[in-house]
Structure 1
Amino acid sequence: MAEKTIMLCCAAGMSTSLLVSKMQKAAESDGIDAEIFAAAADADAKLEEKHPDVLMLGPQVRYMEGQFKSKLSIPVEVINMQDYGMMNGEKVLREAVKLIG
């Protein structure tokens, strides 16, 4: 089992899957033991199944931030739009790790 579990949530899962792979590469090169995965419509089921340490939301689903924050006891954060658009896996990974503490 990974030391850190990071969940990304977006509208359809396409672009977030690419960001997940970039984050995984960054984690490997930084020696961070993390399980990173994406979810879309199945977000609630994935939360129950995987029990992530942090939930990062794609900018397109930022409207869900309050809803997730009210029902979860983990950090919930919207991914910086520029980092998301540039698929900057390293910066998004660093932000997730910082939120986990």
Structure 2
Amino acid sequence: MLTITLLCNLGMSTGMLIDRIKEAAEAKGISVDVDAAPFDKANDRLDHTDILLLGPQVRYHMPRFQKEYGGKIAVIDTIDFTDYALVNGEKIFANAFAKYQSVNP
């Protein structure tokens, strides 16, 4: 099972993306565990995350997460602002999964 964590300020705005990302993954036959969390309360989940996606509002934390989790999490990326605003779970998942596959063939 692929574990995806979405980070934002409070862990609520990315919550809308959870279902859309799950649907996109399931449509491709990929089992996922997707959850959203505020960036300052995500440490417990990050220990078993495969893909970490930062919402546009917290993208400035990217260097911190890359430094701290770069060797532990396969993909650390930001969510495109337009895809985030449109709740485009299919595109967000496709982009993240392609990056995941490139480091885990």
Q: Same-fold call, TM > 0.5? A: yes
| Equivalent residue, structure 2, for 1:44 | 43
**Contiguous gaps of at least 5 residues in structure 1:** none
Q: CA deviation at 1:45?
A: 2.1
Identical aligned residues as a percent: 39
Cα distance in 1, alignment partners of residues 89 and 28 from structure 2: 12
**Contiguous gaps of at least 5 residues in structure 2:** none
Deviations 1:46-85 (A, max 9, x none): 213xx11110000000011000000112221110000000
User: Hey, which bits of structure 1, 4+ residues long, moved more than 6 A?
Assistant: none
| Equivalent residue, structure 2, for 1:13 | 11
- 1:89 paired to 2:89: yes
User: Which secondary structure does the structure 2 equivalent of 1:14 belong to?
Assistant: coil
> What letter corresponds to residue 53 of structure 2 in structure 1?
M
> What letter corresponds to residue 43 of structure 2 in structure 1?
D
Using the size of structure 1 for normalisation, the TM-score is 0.89
Contact 2:12 2:36 (8 Å CA) reproduced: no
- 1:98 paired to 2:98: yes
The count of aligned residue pairs is 97
Q: CA deviation at 1:91?
A: 0.5
Cα distance in 1, alignment partners of residues 29 and 54 from structure 2: 24
Using the size of structure 2 for normalisation, the TM-score is 0.86
Measured on the aligned residues, the alpha-carbon RMSD in Å equals 1.1
Contact 1:5 1:36 (8 Å CA) reproduced: yes
